[in-house]
Amino acid sequence: MEQIKLFCPATIANLSCGFDVLGTCLDTVGDEMIVRKSTQIGVRITKIIGADLPLETEKNVAGVAALAMLHGMELDFGFDIEIYKKIKAGSGIGSSSASAAGAVFGINELIGKPFSRKELIYFAMQGEVLASGSAHADNVAPALCGGFTLVRGYDPLDVIRIDSPLELYATIIHPQIELKTSEMRAVLQPTISLKSAITQWGNVGGLIAGLYTSDYDLIGRSLRDEIVEPLRGPFIPQFDLVKQSALDNGALGSGISGSGPSIFALSKGREIAEKVADGMRKIYDTTGIKYEIHVSNINAEGVKII
């Protein structure tokens, strides 16, 4: 195989209670990427359509992730990468992770799949360092593995994949404003109260248990954030109204997607997810802020070959 075309999915990270450790993969939103072998050794970003991002390999998250993966390998050929961005940078639904995950997955396929999807997470994380200043896996893990992922630990990296309940759907509204991940991390506090920590631990455990047992009510009760949302919510226009509207329209829970500004809601069934989307639209139609809304089932596969 000389080239491969990929769907590189968007993701929702944190999922309210799971800051930097929980994420899920979307099925209807994502970038496309073409990775092809080249006689020229190394990695080159040859084309980016849909976003004003650097073509320089060392300044592009896909390039950095690819270089990390190829470090120490002695190949007599290289790779050219074309990126067709459909996930806007700074959207909060994993724009950088889609590029990083796609690059390492595509190259891995072209060199005979020496790494598993889970093993590719570490390399994709190096692209996230460039994007946000920290090597977090809550976006790249679900982008590569599909379903839900729990990052149990980073040293060593330990990722657990969890199947999604079959009727679970996500609704995401993306206001057309940019909140950079690095800036949103800067508003967080380095210490938290023991009371908040205990509540958060309980919610993480409850969410994991709800996913394993397809207990939708438990999932809803657990989608609560005591620590990060109170600090980031004020930066997102109409956040409280959108969240309340989602709940009023039947969502199991709602919160900030990644570092924002996107807001997500999880619902049981597409019908409720669409109703939640309609409620979100009504609120943002009054603001004058441009927005996009996505309704998606949970992507069980992750990065896909097209």
- CB atoms under 10 Å from CB of 194, counted, come to 7
46 catalytic? Reply is: no
In the chain, DSSP finds a helix count (H) and a strand count (E) of 10, 11
User: Exactly one of 128, 149, 171, 229 is catalytic; which is it?
Assistant: 128
Q: In the numeric block, which tokens belong to residue 198? A: 């205990």
274 catalytic? Reply is: no
**122 and 1 Cβ atoms separated by less than 8 Å:** no
Phi-psi label, residue 284: left if phi above 0, alpha if psi -120 to 50, beta otherwise? alpha
User: Exactly one of 24, 32, 181, 229 is catalytic; which is it?
Assistant: 181
Instruction: Kindly report the three-state secondary structure assignment for every residue of 245-257.
Output: HHHHCCCCEEEEC
Q: Which helix (H) or strand (E) holds 101?
A: helix 95-110
> What is the rounded CA–CA span in Å between residue 240 and residue 246?
10
- Active centre residues (catalytic): 128, 181
